[in-house]
Amino acid sequence: MKAEQRIKELGIDLSLKPKPVANYVPAVRVGNLVFISGHGPLKKDKTLMSGVVGRDMDEKQAYQAARLVGIAALASLKGEIGSLDKVKRVVKVLGMVNAVPDFKNHPEVINGFSDLMTEVFGEQGKHARSAVGMGSLPRTIPVEVEMIVEVEA
């Protein structure tokens, strides 16, 4: 099944495109690779979700935040390449979790992002990944994710 059709079936709205908060662009294409900048969890009201995992939100809420990050990243990717049907493979993901020092389930949080990529792209959505904890993230967002995607020429 094509990614664009799958997005519609999942009821995902990609019209909310995050705007950079500093001097960078959301995505850069180099040959057949697209590098997606770190994105945060963008809510429907166009604000970023905030909070520290383990203090302000639990693991399930953080998983949902990571899913929102995935939607924002897909919106930027689509903006760069025109159609998600051009994606050949999600190659690499770096997930960062703003968590209390004793939080240990960073991979489970970032699964919110990874599970979405697999839902949208199937086997091509499975990727290499790092999931790490951070002492803080910009604007106190709970999750930030960046990714590298291979696309058709």
d(CA 10, CA 115) in angstroms, rounded, equals: 13
- Domain range list for the chain: 3-16+37-151
* pLDDT for the residue numbered 131: 98
Considering the chain, what is the average pLDDT of its residues?
A: 96
* pLDDT for the residue numbered 51: 98
In this model, does residue 100 exceed pLDDT 90?
A: yes
Q: Can you state the angle between helices 106-121 and 3-10, rounded to 10 degrees?
A: 120
Give domain 3-16+37-151's CATH architecture: 2-Layer Sandwich (3.30)
Contact predicate 26/17, CB 8 Å: yes
Contact predicate 11/5, CB 8 Å: no
* pLDDT for the residue numbered 21: 83
Q: Can you state the angle between helices 59-81 and 106-121, rounded to 10 degrees?
A: 40
pLDDT band, residue 70 (cuts 50/70/90)? very high
